[in-house]
């Protein structure tokens, strides 16, 4: 495993709300196994998920899997460009079904794990309005 620094910028908006932007810089670890890139980091209070560990798994092409676990939260979300997936998001307040519609996955990653990931998707959370999401991750040593 190799230590990496991850700068994560996210933007989320709905039809009825302005874009909410979050930025997190964190230390994580990188591992390349079975032709997949694995990035693991601890969430912080800033993300609202303190106590959780997040792992991003990607083939470096058009597929990203996000796995989050810890405390009372857990989720596994698949993002494949042009595909829709159903997922369960478990929280201390109960379990919720998510529908994820991924429009863009761009991975510009090097063998040492550095590079960038760009993800755009829509998310339907229960009966809530559709949220449109953009996630940019820059990974450095």
pLDDT one-digit tens code per residue, 98-138:
999 999 999 999 999 999 999 999 999 877 778 999 999 99
Average of per-residue pLDDT values in the chain? 91
Structure tokens at 101: 């519609």
CA distance 130 to 16: 10
Q: Are 41 and 60 in contact (CB under 8 A)?
A: no
pTM of the model: 0.90
2-140 CATH: 2.40.128.20
Q: Are 58 and 65 in contact (CB under 8 A)?
A: yes
CA distance 72 to 120: 26
Coil vs helix vs strand at 45: helix
């Amino acid at each position: 495993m190799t230590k990496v620094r991850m700068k994560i910028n996210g933007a989320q908006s709905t039809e009825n709300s302005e874009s909410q932007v979050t930025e997190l810089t964190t230390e994580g670890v990188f591992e390349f196994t079975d032709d997949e890139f694995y990035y693991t980091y601890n969430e912080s209070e800033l993300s609202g998920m303190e106590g959780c560990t997040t792992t991003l798994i990607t083939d470096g092409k058009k597929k990203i899997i996000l796995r989050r676990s810890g405390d009372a939260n857990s989720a596994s979300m698949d993002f494949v460009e042009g595909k829709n997936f159903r997922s369960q998001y478990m929280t201390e307040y109960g379990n919720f079904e998510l529908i994820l519609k991924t429009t863009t996955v761009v991975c510009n990653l090097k063998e040492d794990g550095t590079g960038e990931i760009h993800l755009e998707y829509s998310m339907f959370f229960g009966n809530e309005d559709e949220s449109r999401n953009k996630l940019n991750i820059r990974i450095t040593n």
